[in-house]
Structure 1
Amino acid sequence: MFKKTKVLWVLMVLILAFSLNVGAETIELDVWVVRDNYQIDLTEWNEANPNIEINFEVVPWEQALNRLIMSASSNRAPDVAVLDRPWVGTLGGLGHLTPLDSYIDDYYTEDELNDYIEASWEFAQYDGTTYAMPFTVFGRALFYRADWFEEAGLDAPETWEDVVEAGKVFTDPAQDKWGLSVRGIRDDGTTQGWLPIFAAMGGEFDGQAPQINSEAGIKALELYRDLVYDAEIMSPETVIFGSGEARGLFLSGNAAMAIMGSHIAPAVVNNGIEYGDFKMTHIPVPEAGMEKRNVATGFQWAVHEQSEHKDAAFEFIKYATDTAGQFEFNVDYMEAVRLSVYDIPEYREEKPWVDFILDDMEGFSAIPAAPQYSQMSQAIQNGLQEMLNNSNADAEAVAAEIQAVIDSLF
């Protein structure tokens, strides 16, 4: 009897120990981010979730999409990833992302959801399904040297005619000084910088497909050619300008205006140009009084479909996207998607241009997100290269070529 009791007691201890060990099992979440600053402070997270360990890995933006696709093919995808807006459609269309609508319903109150800027949800969705949680957005804006404009007696530019008129005042090719700087190299950043111009020209989208072979598309293509070869307010080297070269002209005082993402504003300040000496205004329009329109992008947090810890992954995303997390990230980079962040005095003090941002957001539409986005972007890049490289480029022919590629994809 004693032996049986002892055996039972040992078994109970082993079962209890096993149960405790299972209860204390550590969950490791692999989280891929595209920049160092996405590695948010985990102090409060670690205190509240001692059994969920976050393993950050920085995968540069230029490599991230391809690595996400490759990792899924070998069953080694991360649990959570930061996604650029166009990738939502690419990865969602491939079945690589976890639909989040039910998680959002379960984890968020109505007040919390209403705190999100309404337009931000479009950035996280594809084909009617929410595949990510919005985290940060930015649109392109026309940066201009307000101090130079005031000294020259010029008003803030509203139309492209205004831009050309002002640009000629400040252009001196012999001194490598230009009226306007834009990105022109063959990469997706150039597409993302041109689509807002296309939209402000009156360009339309058929679902996710921009209608380039249109009056607005042709005018937007002609614009890049004419700013280099006719108005001559952009450098002939624009065709090879990446982000660094395009912004570098403005930061160095060699360009009076530049079309850049609004998230570059803190870098302008850090470069010694105070806000007020530079300002931002909406993407120029063909005629004064036209409504502002912008095609914006943004980054969001997504749960990979291959994750074995989806609930824990979404818990982390909720933590990362709360007001405190957004303030920490957005106070010096990109724009917050939660309205409560804009009410924080320190945020407004650090970013005195936030009222412009909120106003510009009223004209936001999300950059296309579709599995075919990369091919579509490449067609636009090729067309812009032609317009920037050739003073005799035929915008109608180029628009037709781009549209033929887009139509074949959709």
Structure 2
Amino acid sequence: MDGEQVVRMWTFLDPEADNGRSKALKQMIETFESENPGIKIVVETQDWEQMTPKFFAAHAAGNAPDIIWCIMDEMGAALDLGALEPLENLFLKDWTEEEIADIDDSFFNFGVRDGKHYQITHSRNYMAMYYRADLFEEKGLEVPKTWDEFIEVCQALTEVDSETGIQRYGFGQAFNVDKVDPQIMTSLLLDTQGNLFTDDGKANWANAAGEEALQFQLDCITKYGITPEAAVNLTGEELFTEFAAGKYAIITGGAVRVPTVRADVPFEPSAVQLMLYPSADGNGNSPSTINGWCVGVWSGSKVKEAAGKFVEAMMSPESDELWVTLGGQLAIRKSTMEKLGDFYEDPNNRYLTVVADGITNAGWPQPTDYPVSSWKNDLNRAAQMVMVDGSSIPDALASVAKDFDERNGG
């Protein structure tokens, strides 16, 4: 129609795909367009790993999408580039204190600069451990509280599956540098020293704590036999696929994937549950990475108001409920959690409560005061250097720390 405003949005979600998050997004777009006939939302689905770097290049070229789903790892770089519009310039200026209070949490305040908010975090994610609750029950195992207990549990679960004949390992890991998720050495390091970086943004893992963390991670292969050597080249995507096929009893992964994983397993879907990371002494849990997608408006957009209107619509009370009940995601609003109390109490949705507990009590938000590009890839590369190239652990960590510092200007 004449005068129609077209809002381009880059996201990894495909509104035509058959999964909960995509279906939820499609409903939101249809509702928004029916209520705003002068605005057309055009989704340009992107590869999730390449989307943010591609956005930075498009920003520099002046042809970026109006709405971007920026991976949380790169939020600091996005702010340094001036690529995002303050939401106060769009819709937040009109919000009441009560409305702000409903969404005010660590995610909302992620990346705040000079009191301005630049993003709303969607697909709120937390790195946790997926486990087969049916196998735990079968063997009378409890969720481990310490890393020593974790090893014992994984050893008990490492065997040939009596029903499928598959060699099952207690713990699956993935050290490939493609489509990377943080591995357990991240939590071990955070538990020991509280951060992966120094105050001025340099890598802080080429030290005794880093060496001990990487040694434990690799000992799962070489000493305890609970992880196969194939972990060296396995990608995060392949890890999920093999978990669904029954090859592992426990893996690490982003909690946001639970609904998708459950849809893929041949066994009882509710057997896929989440647990938080153990700790050295069992007093609490080792910290883990908070992640998600920072949804914001491109600072160079010619339709900022319309783009901001849809960003606001994606977090409305109605949309937030859709993200939770259809998409299996964490709520953005406190009011949504209160309204959906019965939903959270359902045993099939217990994982959402586990994730909320982890975020609140053992969550580590990545810094935005300095760039931290590709740190997960660096730590995985260190594991590969030791296992494949024969490097010593100190040399491998020193090498990737040097690469990180040079790449990020540290």
TM-score by length of 1: 0.84
Q: Does 1:234 align with 2:227?
A: yes
- Name the residue aligned to 1:358: 356
Dislocated runs of 4+, deviation >6 Å? none
Q: Is the Cα contact below 8 Å between 1:199 and 1:293 reproduced in 2?
A: yes
In the TM superposition, residue 213 of structure 1 has moved relative to its aligned partner by 2.6
Match of 1:244 among 226, 229, 237: 237
- Name the residue aligned to 1:381: 380
Distance 1:47-1:277 versus aligned 2 partners, 3 A rule: closer
Match of 1:189 among 141, 155, 180: 180
Find the aligned partners of 1:160 and 1:387 in 2 and give their Cα distance.
22
In the TM superposition, residue 302 of structure 1 has moved relative to its aligned partner by 0.8
3-state SS, counterpart of residue 404 of structure 1: helix
Residues 233-271 of structure 1 show CA distances to partners (whole Å, capped at 9, x for unaligned) of 101000111123212332222211111111222234322
Find the aligned partners of 1:311 and 1:171 in 2 and give their Cα distance.
55
In the TM superposition, residue 64 of structure 1 has moved relative to its aligned partner by 0.9
3-state SS, counterpart of residue 327 of structure 1: helix
Q: Is the Cα contact below 8 Å between 2:172 and 2:250 reproduced in 1?
A: yes
- Name the residue aligned to 1:325: 319
Distance 1:65-1:367 versus aligned 2 partners, 3 A rule: same
Q: Does 1:303 align with 2:281?
A: no
Distance 1:195-1:45 versus aligned 2 partners, 3 A rule: same
Q: How does 1:215-230 map to 2 (within 5 A)?
A: 215-230=208-223
Distance 1:324-1:145 versus aligned 2 partners, 3 A rule: same
Residues 302-351 of structure 1 show CA distances to partners (whole Å, capped at 9, x for unaligned) of 11111012122111111111222223234334423222332325743462
- Of 162-171 and 197-206, deviating more is 197-206
In the TM superposition, residue 215 of structure 1 has moved relative to its aligned partner by 3.7
3-state SS, counterpart of residue 232 of structure 1: coil
Q: How does 1:137-148 map to 2 (within 5 A)?
A: 137-148=124-135
Q: Does 1:34 align with 2:12?
A: yes
3-state SS, counterpart of residue 380 of structure 2: helix
**What is the identity, as a one-letter code, of the residue corresponding to 1:344?**
L
**What is the identity, as a one-letter code, of the residue corresponding to 2:394?**
E
- Name the residue aligned to 2:3: 25
Find the aligned partners of 2:383 and 2:112 in 1 and give their Cα distance.
28
Please say which structure displays the higher CA radius of gyration: 1
Q: How does 1:35-54 map to 2 (within 5 A)?
A: 35-36=13-14, 37=22, 38-54=25-41
Q: Is the Cα contact below 8 Å between 2:76 and 2:368 reproduced in 1?
A: yes
- Of 245-254 and 308-317, deviating more is 245-254
- Name the residue aligned to 1:336: 331
List alignment gaps of at least 5 residues for structure 1. 1-20
3-state SS, counterpart of residue 266 of structure 1: helix
Q: Is the Cα contact below 8 Å between 1:123 and 1:297 reproduced in 2?
A: no
3-state SS, counterpart of residue 288 of structure 1: coil
Q: Is the Cα contact below 8 Å between 1:146 and 1:277 reproduced in 2?
A: yes
Q: Is the Cα contact below 8 Å between 2:214 and 2:383 reproduced in 1?
A: yes
- Name the residue aligned to 1:180: 171
Find the aligned partners of 2:249 and 2:120 in 1 and give their Cα distance.
37
In the TM superposition, residue 186 of structure 1 has moved relative to its aligned partner by 1.0
- Of 225-234 and 320-329, deviating more is 320-329
**What is the identity, as a one-letter code, of the residue corresponding to 2:333?**
R
- Name the residue aligned to 2:399: 401
Match of 1:87 among 66, 74, 95: 74
Aligned residues: 387
Q: How does 1:6-17 map to 2 (within 5 A)?
A: none
In the TM superposition, residue 276 of structure 1 has moved relative to its aligned partner by 5.8
Residues 16-69 of structure 1 show CA distances to partners (whole Å, capped at 9, x for unaligned) of xxxxx9xx7322211111111244522332233221221121112122123212
3-state SS, counterpart of residue 241 of structure 1: coil
What do you get for the CA RMSD once the two structures are aligned? 2.8
3-state SS, counterpart of residue 351 of structure 1: helix
Q: Is the Cα contact below 8 Å between 1:33 and 1:56 reproduced in 2?
A: yes
Residues 154-176 of structure 1 show CA distances to partners (whole Å, capped at 9, x for unaligned) of 22112221121111122238953
Find the aligned partners of 1:105 and 1:226 in 2 and give their Cα distance.
50
- Of 197-206 and 317-326, deviating more is 197-206
In the TM superposition, residue 395 of structure 1 has moved relative to its aligned partner by 2.4
Q: Is the Cα contact below 8 Å between 1:80 and 1:302 reproduced in 2?
A: yes
Distance 1:48-1:272 versus aligned 2 partners, 3 A rule: same
Find the aligned partners of 2:375 and 2:116 in 1 and give their Cα distance.
22
Find the aligned partners of 1:364 and 1:328 in 2 and give their Cα distance.
25
- Name the residue aligned to 1:120: 107
Find the aligned partners of 1:109 and 1:289 in 2 and give their Cα distance.
40
- Name the residue aligned to 2:17: none
**What is the identity, as a one-letter code, of the residue corresponding to 1:365?**
W
- Name the residue aligned to 1:11: none
Task: Report % sequence identity.
Answer: 20
